[in-house]
Amino acid sequence: MMRKIEERLTPRYKVKVPVEFDSGRGYTQNCSASGVFFITDRPFSPGQLIEYTLFLEHIDAAGPVRLRCQGKVVRVEKNGKKMEGVAATINSYSLEVNEPEKQ
């Protein structure tokens, strides 16, 4: 029996948060410091450059924090239905924090 060699450089964490990109939406299944795996009904191709936003709803009491990411699609897992899994790198990111409302 052949065992698959782990290629990830950083640990993965099961995290389900909304993800949005130009052509649609989805949700993450897991993420790490260097990448994310999300489920969507939009088609992607390995090697494709991608910009996406993760919505971190509970990280700040003032409201959701948006993590805007740029990366590259490294793997696409089709499941025979409309949905597919997409593994993408996080090559760069920026945080958008909601400013508290002035009273």
**pTM, entire model:** 0.81
The verdict on residue 6 lying in a domain is no
Residue 31 lies in a domain: yes
Q: Provide the domain count of the chain.
A: 1
pLDDT tens figures, 41-84: 999 999 999 999 999 988 877 788 999 999 999 999 987 778 89
Comparing CA positions, the residue from 53, 62, 1, 50 lying closest to residue 26 is: 53
**What residue numbers bound the domain in which 56 lies?**
13-97
Nearest one of 30, 4, 2 to 17, comparing CA atoms: 30
Q: What is the pLDDT of residues 11-45, one digit of tens each?
A: 999 999 999 998 899 999 999 999 999 999 999 99
- Give the C-alpha separation, 85 to 28, whole Å: 9
